Chains A and B, each alone.
Chain A
Amino acid sequence: MRTTLIARGAAVAAAAAMVALSAAPASAATVSQASATALSLELAGTGARDTGTYAVTNDGSTESATGTNEPLITALGGQEAIQAGTLAQDAVAKKNATSAACSGLAGDGATVVAVGSGNCLSGGDNISLDAASLDFSDVELVSSGLFQGVDQQLITALKDAGLSQTAVTDPLSKALGDLLAAMGDPGLHLDLGAVQSSCTADKDTASGDSSLANSRAYITVPTVGDVTLVDLPVDPAVNQKVVTDLTGVTDAILDALRTQFSKALNGALAPANGGLDQLQKQVLDTALGQIQSQLAPLEENVLDITLNKQDTAPGEITVTALDAKVLPAAEGFVGGSLAHLTIGTSHCGPNSPITKTVVNNPPKNNPPASVPTVVTAGMESYDDGSAGRIALVTLLLLAAAGAGAATYVRMLRRG
């Protein structure tokens, strides 16, 4: 009897627990979520650093967060690309299945605004970020190739003047070395105002945007000064690509080399008393051609920059305000600097409203309302019957005319 009572009590308790559990909200389900990462920096050969990610989720009753929403530049230790500035990364996830996030970077003095109202950074100084230092030390003259294609008669004339080929190639190599040494290692920089992204999501959709205040990419050439490569748009389109070609810089290098090479050749060929003008021209063109081909990657693009980069899936979105990578073609010129930089990565969704289920009262299975999947709104041609009506009227008119004519003829005969 006692055993029976205990068994019945246990059964009742188990049943009550099952009902209680089934009637409770699906506590493990995520109703809303969002995350934000202010900055991520990967330097060539030294690994990646970032500000960490601040992530929030809401299970329908409480919001949980991981990471920090007060990131500091000092957290990006062990690098010199960026030393000062104001970071922002914040996110909210509400129990009504909505979420928002915002993240970005601005200069000192910027104000951080609470997430949810679009931008989260305003004001502040501009910040200069060293994207890359360009190393031209591998640019060289291939001495053995300088006389390829030169007329044999000119080479013979060079010998007749008592000059060897190295007497020509050595001064050119020295001129190139002197020019590159004077240029140093030009620095490629990003001059950035507030760069930020934001996003929002509800149970159905997610959207996001980015903005860049007063930002540009420029290069510092010791012999020239600052040269702006591109002004970055304030409100970039979705996945807007920016080209940072150095055509202006390479043209300046080639112009300077033309002058220096001409001087060097004039000196080297002076003993020939001006009798080798044609040789001078051919060697000069070959030398400049060699340099130009080596600089070609810089004339196409140095950085692969994508602004307002957006990856979307149903109900969720990831927005990155600025994503910059050194292109593989330009890596030969980039020494110990930026490999990959992202600023302002905000993620929102997917969100779904909380659903309650009760075992004893299962919800009705409501299949989605039937909607069209095919619309047959095309025809090759259409006959509305007008052609037939016109033909009939024409026939009647012809018949009437025939009858009239017959009557007229008959009357003439009678008359």
Chain B
Amino acid sequence: MAETTADSPSRLAAAASSLWTGLVVLAVAMVLAGLVWPAGSAAVEVPPGAPKRLELPGLHTRAKVVPIRLDGQVLDPPRNPREIGWWVGSAKPGSAQGQTVVTGHTVHTGGGSLNKLDHIKEGQEVDVVTKDGTFQHQVDSVEVLSRKELAEQAQRIFGQDHGDGRLVIITCTDWNGSSYDSNIVVMAHRFNALPS
């Protein structure tokens, strides 16, 4: 009986010590596992957010995105032709409804952010980067519309009551020697979101 009472404190101390050691080992193991285990992408959702950068890997194009507003019914890209404008009246990338509208300049002498857009093909990837991640899109259609056709189809292209969060990219084309006659309209659907 006396032995039992004398051993109890030391046994408790030994148990606590072994528990502490086990916890330390477990913590180290979890840290190491977290470093080497592949990250699961499906479980993480990227919230909708304002676009920061547009990337068109197939065209080797990356451009900073800044918010722009309507001037009457005219959508004018940023003054810096290397930047791309996101119409703040359109959906944020990652939204379930509406459509995200971005536009950038084509510069006849070169240097516009979307100078190469006329080379984009259906099926190519377009990425929109926000502060929380990257939304990956795949091009569904590439249309060249005259100014008149664009105005006539404005609700389809820019309307926010449809679209399921698709991406719309617009620039100018058909240089006539003094100005541009048409717009290129690229529609792309979102197929993935990668957290940053």
Contact = CB atoms under 8 A, between A and B. Distances in A.
Given A372-B70, A374-B74, A379 B106 contact: yes
A375 B159 contact: no
A313 interface: no
Q: Chain B: interface secondary structure?
A: mixed
Given A376-B74, A376-B77, A371 B154 contact: yes
Most chain B beta carbons < 10 A, residue from A204, A376, A377, A382: A377
B106 A375 contact: no
B138 interface: no
The range of chain B's interface size is: 35 or more
Contacts of B183: 375, 377
Contact of B81 (A369, A372, A373, A379): A379
Contact of A204 (B76, B154, B162): B162
A377 B178 CA distance: 14
Interface in A354-399: 368-382, 384
Interface string B88-101: 01000000000001
Nearest to A374: B74
A377 B109 contact: no
Contacts of A371: 73, 89, 154-155, 157-160
A369 B75 contact: no
Q: Chain A: interface secondary structure?
A: loop
A369 to B, nearest CB: 6
B189 interface: no
A204 B89 CA distance: 22
Interface in B104-137: 104-109, 111-112, 114
B112 A372 contact: no
B70 A370 contact: yes
Contacts of B73: 370-374
A377 B103 contact: yes
A375 B112 contact: no
Contact of A377 (B105, B155, B161, B162): B105
B86 interface: no
5 nearest CB pairs, A to B? A378-B172, A378-B180, A372-B75, A371-B158, A373-B151
22 contacts: A372-B74, A372-B75, A372-B101, A374-B74, A374-B150, A375-B150, A375-B170, A377-B103, A377-B105, A377-B170, A377-B172, A377-B183, A378-B107, A378-B171, A378-B172, A378-B173, A380-B107, A380-B108, A381-B108, A381-B109, A382-B109, A382-B112
